[in-house]
C-alpha cells in the first residue's frame, strides 16, 4: 500500500516544498520534510496529539 502524505494548505515556498508532511501507516504517524523525504520520523497518535496541543497553546511560538 502506498503511503498517502498530507501537508498543510499553509505550506510555504514557491513550489510548496517548504513544509512538513504527515501520514498514517501501519498504526503509526509518520512525519517528514517535503524537501528531504528520505528522513521519516515515526510517532504515535498520543504523542502527536500532545505536541499539537502544545503548539495550539503557543508553547513553540518562540521557535517560529
pLDDT at 9: 82
> Which DSSP state fits 64?
-
Please tell me the total count of domains within the chain: 1
Q: Is residue 1 part of a domain?
A: no
State the pTM of this model: 0.81
Q: Which residue range is the domain that position 34 belongs to?
A: 6-63
Nearest one of 29, 35, 40, 30 to 11, comparing CA atoms: 35
Q: What pLDDT digit, counting tens, does each position of 10-59 carry?
A: 777 666 667 899 999 999 999 999 889 999 999 999 999 999 999 999 99
pLDDT at 18: 76
Does an H or E element contain 39, and which?
Answer: strand 36-43
pLDDT of residue 1 exceeding 80: no
Q: Is residue 20 part of a domain?
A: yes
Amino acid at each position: 500500500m502506498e503511503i498517502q502524505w498530507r501537508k498543510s494548505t499553509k505550506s510555504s515556498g514557491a513550489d510548496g516544498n517548504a513544509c512538513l508532511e504527515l501520514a498514517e501507516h501501519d498504526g503509526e504517524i509518520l512525519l517528514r520534510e517535503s524537501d528531504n523525504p528520505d528522513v521519516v520520523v515515526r510517532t504515535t497518535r498520543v504523542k502527536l496529539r500532545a505536541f499539537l496541543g502544545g503548539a495550539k497553546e503557543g508553547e513553540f511560538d518562540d521557535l517560529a
